[in-house]
Amino acid sequence: MPDSQAKYQRLDDPGGGPGGGPATDTAPEQQPARGPEYCELEVDEPRGFGDDDDARYYEEFSSYDQRSAKAHTWRRKRFSLAHVCLAVLACLGVYVAASVIWSSATGGKGAATSPPVGSDPSATNAAAGGGVHGDAISGSAHGDEVPADRTGKKLLTYDNVGGVNGLVQTRSLDWLAHPSDPSIDGLYREVDGNEFVVRSVANATWQHTLATRADLIKASLALGTPFTPLGWSVSADWEYMLFNVRSERVWRHSVRGTYLLYNIHERTMIPLTGTGNDNVQRIEWAPSGHRLQFVRDNNLFVTDMMHEIQITEDGSDSVFNGLADWVYEEEVLGSAASSLWSPDGNAVAYLRIDDSQVPVFQYELYHPENRSAVYPEDIRLHYPKPGAANPRVSLFVYRPAFGRTALDLGPATKASDSPDTDFRPQQITFEAPFDPADMIITNVAWLTDHSDRLIVYIMNRVQSHLRVYLVSTDPKSLRGKLVRERNTADAGGDGAWIEIGPPPIYVPANTVGNLTSDGYLDLVENGEHTRLALFSPPDAAQPARWLTAGDYDVVGGSVALNRKSASVSFLSTQVSSVKFNLYHVALNGAGAGGATPPQALTPRTATSASRRLNAKGARDGTYDARFSAGAGFYLLHYKGPQLPWQAVYSSADPGFELVLNDNASAQRELDRYRLPKTEFLEIANDAGDKMNAMAIYPPDFDPSAKAKYGVLFHVYGGPNSQHVSQAFGLDWMSALVSQQDVPDMPWIVARVDGRGTGYKGRRFRSSVSRKLGVLEPADQAAAGRYFQKQGFVNPHRIAIWGWSYGGYTTTRAIERHADVFRVGMAVAPVTDWRFYDSVYTERYLKTPQENASGYAGSAVTNTTGFASARFLVQHGTGDDNVHLQNTLALVDLLEANNVPGFEMAVYTDSDHSIYTHGVRPALYARMVNFLFRSFHELENKQFDYWRHADPNDAANRAG
């Protein structure tokens, strides 16, 4: 279930959050162009559970796929012509003109032809009436003209919007630590032509070559294996490289892959493992040296390149070691990783997740493209639904026996073979534990530079009670000591959920003069907001000091510690709840009590080397930042609302700047377009709360027009999410507001974050606890009534759509507020929370046994609103997340009540993202078609078979 917040990332690396969703990105960061075979390896880094960047909310922000959209262009054209034909029937005098339009649009005589790819855009405009072609932007798949307005500038279309959005380039820096000198910071790895190199942001002339492409090809030929890597990484000592040469997606974050190892000094290539190398489920380098841990067949292994040790032996379809099961991956960790190297590489902490009591959900994949697959493939998935048994989770620590025992290690052995029990897996027990059936381990982190101490966060099943444990990993005292806890059900609490935060960051003693014992940084709710706290000593029940204070939130997953300067950097909402800006604060400072408050690092006021960054408004907006290994440098990503840019800055030298990408060329090209206009505003709900909102207007928007524009609400609304964002992005809705298919039906797109969403305080967020689907659609309806009162809006032309939780909010809005929303379009919606997973659902609704009325009141059960509206529901048959069961239950309810005006589309074998077989463009095209057609039918009272009068009934009444 997408939820757009970055919840489960480590503190020093921003990312995304659950149920399905980051955050506010319009798209994940793109790698620089390096050739098709050299993308970066998605390998777990040794910093915390939930390391992988979360791709949540991907569906809400995806644009048309420029390549596959071509095959579906006809859908939009046929629909447009249907409306033209309706106009022809009303005015027969223009019949001939309409016929000409039909001939042109369907490729008859007079259709525009496409110039060669890569031809000069200005020449293209002259020759083809404004069509732009080339690698970055293309016009219609059929050579259609790109429309221009009266200024001569081009407009977005459904076909070109993906290419236009693709002009905006972003890149990432894969930061590395120096293998022997921690004082050297600002290093990163990349592929430069035919070389795999390490470079420095501080010294443009310094370069360390790890390997050349020729070296790698030669080594792979000697191994007898083709070298076609999908990604790569390098060990902490820079002695080995790891290449992923095959990858198969499993769930949202998990993959199975094949891996090769390259010895940099010997220039030789070997398989990662002697057996089962095609079934490696996750892999992670140690933070020092060149040890690897990996999972195969749900068992955890370690290797030092000479010996492979199997740590666990009970992995099965229902037991997961060092690997998250489905619900932990999706809702708790936001990653496939459930094991973690110690900082010195001498120990591994890992979860054992036992699904043997979790019920199995089964669905089928049909594989229509495989003509030999006559019978569908059965997929069996341990999937706990509300009230059902959850996974049983336990925590272990293992110290590899490499070189430390008398054990004669062969090439492969088992941990259970060690004669020293200290070098076998050791289970951690906990003081005052939750019942094993009522326990979720949400975070594990090492509070050390060695391997002697862990901190563990454990919640109860409904996530209203948090206990924090300190664990000594001495084999003689493996017991977690309870050091602090929070229970929202205690007196004065609201009884709502506690957010799963990112792992804490270890702070060694004497990092600053007055820090006499070790400690850690953590994000803690204090009153209405999430604040940054320093705990010292590690077993302290209360913070030694609060580093932030005020009516704003520190953004989870954004915190970085610079030990050298004894300072902390972080993103926060201090300026606005829809703007993330970067700050830093001294460890011995704080935002209260007269101490030094955090200092803003954005927007920077210094003159930039880039003219684009110096332009008016180019720095005012929302940011992201990723810090180097020592936090001495950071890649600053300005995300919008203006065109994004990226630059590297120094934490110590305010004059240092390295502009990576100012998107100046993209700006010049986009200046040739009349893009939609965006306004950020606040709208009051019925309770008087001010809700963040944004409106996307057509390029030629006329605020003085009378009842001209319809409003399409794009909704998400999931708990602690954020949908209103200042991040730049263009998608199919950008084309919708720019379209001229139906000139008398122009659109505005609106987004509103109502109660339950994040960054507006705990009261606002937790108000939906125990009663999902009541306040969210009510707040969208309040925003709908606000727009209905605007003179330029047609009050009868208000629609709503959303995906996943947004699909649920859409469905509930039609059920409960059809007086406002006359058309709804839901993609992959939840329709009854009994059908969704237990960890997400019980966080907000509690268990069905505790809150039966909440479950009953949150399900879609009343068809009255659907009878007076138009409704479209779309779903993938292979959705492992929000099961098709939800849509089928809703459709059965509508059909059983003989409800007219709804349509359904299913996409064979597609999961929650609905990509399989290139069907995403068809999904968007169907929504465009349905939106226009529905309002045409509603406004023209087209004959409806489902609602026609029966003459026999009239005769019977007369008799």
Count the domains in the chain.
Answer: 3
Q: Is residue 12 part of a domain?
A: no
Worst-scoring range by mean pLDDT, 59-63, 251-255, 289-293, 699-703? 59-63
817, 865 in Cβ contact below 8 A?
yes
Q: Is residue 45 part of a domain?
A: no
Q: Is residue 724 part of a domain?
A: yes
Q: Is residue 959 part of a domain?
A: no
| Confidence at 370, pLDDT banded by 50, 70, 90 | confident
Q: Is residue 468 part of a domain?
A: yes
Amino acid sitting at position 888: L
Helix/strand/coil (H, E, C) string of 780-842? HHHHHHHHHCCCCEEEEEEEEEEECHHHHHHHHHHHHCCCCCCEEEEECCCCCHHHCCHHHHH
Cα–Cα distance for residue pair 24/5, rounded to 1 Å: 8
Cα–Cα distance for residue pair 139/95, rounded to 1 Å: 28
Cα–Cα distance for residue pair 344/621, rounded to 1 Å: 40
Cα 707 to Cα 411, 591, 677, 795, 934: the distances in Å are 77, 49, 19, 7, 18
The predicted structure's pLDDT at residue 83? 42
Q: Which of 454, 472, 498 is the last residue of a domain?
A: 498
Per-residue pLDDT for 52 more than 70?
A: no
In DSSP notation, 868-911 reads TSEEEEEEETT-SSS-HHHHHHHHHHHHHTT--SEEEEEETT--
Per-residue pLDDT for 706 more than 70?
A: yes
Cα–Cα distance for residue pair 129/134, rounded to 1 Å: 15
| Confidence at 406, pLDDT banded by 50, 70, 90 | very low
Q: Is residue 590 part of a domain?
A: no
Cα–Cα distance for residue pair 546/491, rounded to 1 Å: 24
| Confidence at 954, pLDDT banded by 50, 70, 90 | low
Q: Which of 498, 526, 552 is the last residue of a domain?
A: 498
* Mean pLDDT score across all residues of the chain: 85
**Range 743-758 average pLDDT:** 96
Per-residue pLDDT for 31 more than 50?
A: no
Cα 31 to Cα 34, 231, 644: the distances in Å are 8, 11, 15
Cα–Cα distance for residue pair 412/432, rounded to 1 Å: 39
395, 411 in Cβ contact below 8 A?
no
Per-residue pLDDT for 141 more than 80?
A: no
Q: Which of 138, 804, 838, 858 is catalytic?
A: 804
Q: Which of 624, 879, 909, 911 is catalytic?
A: 879
In degrees and rounded to multiples of 5, residue 889 shows phi and psi of -65, -40
In DSSP notation, 635-677 reads EEEEEESS--EEEEEESS-TT-EEEEE--HHHHHHHTTB---E
Q: Decide if 912 is catalytic.
A: yes
Worst-scoring range by mean pLDDT, 32-41, 121-130, 177-186, 433-442? 121-130
Q: Which of 159, 186, 219 is the last residue of a domain?
A: 159
Q: Which of 200, 912, 913, 934 is catalytic?
A: 912
Cα 187 to Cα 201, 208, 217: the distances in Å are 7, 10, 26
| Confidence at 418, pLDDT banded by 50, 70, 90 | confident
Q: Decide if 879 is catalytic.
A: yes
Task: Give the pair of three-digit tokens for residue 693.
Answer: 């909102």
Q: Is residue 470 part of a domain?
A: yes
Q: For helices 73-90 and 95-105, what crossing angle results, to 10°?
A: 170
Cα–Cα distance for residue pair 150/589, rounded to 1 Å: 57
Cα–Cα distance for residue pair 552/523, rounded to 1 Å: 13
| Confidence at 533, pLDDT banded by 50, 70, 90 | very high
% of the chain surpassing 90 pLDDT:
75
Q: What torsion do the CA atoms of 542, 547, 550, 552 make, to the nearest 10 degrees?
A: -100
Q: Is 17 left (phi over 0), alpha (psi -120 to 50) or beta?
A: beta
| Cβ partners under 8 Å of residue 162, min gap 6 | 63, 64, 65, 66, 69
Cα–Cα distance for residue pair 8/502, rounded to 1 Å: 5
Task: Give the pair of three-digit tokens for residue 826.
Answer: 């839901």
Q: What distance separates the 2 farthest-apart alpha carbons in the chain?
A: 103
Whole-prediction pTM value?
A: 0.86
Strand 599-600 with 195-200, pairing: unpaired
Identify the CA nearest to 299 among candidates 352, 345, 246, 358: 352
671, 757 in Cβ contact below 8 A?
no
Domain extent for 890: 59-66+674-941
In degrees and rounded to multiples of 5, residue 67 shows phi and psi of -80, -50
Q: Is residue 370 part of a domain?
A: no
Cα–Cα distance for residue pair 493/221, rounded to 1 Å: 65
| Confidence at 947, pLDDT banded by 50, 70, 90 | low
Q: For helices 775-788 and 805-816, what crossing angle results, to 10°?
A: 70
pLDDT tens-digit series, residues 888-906? 999 999 999 999 889 999 9
Amino acid sitting at position 834: R
| Cβ partners under 8 Å of residue 14, min gap 6 | 6, 555, 557, 558, 571, 624, 625, 626
Q: Which residues pair with 381 in a beta bridge?
A: 361
Cα–Cα distance for residue pair 566/229, rounded to 1 Å: 40
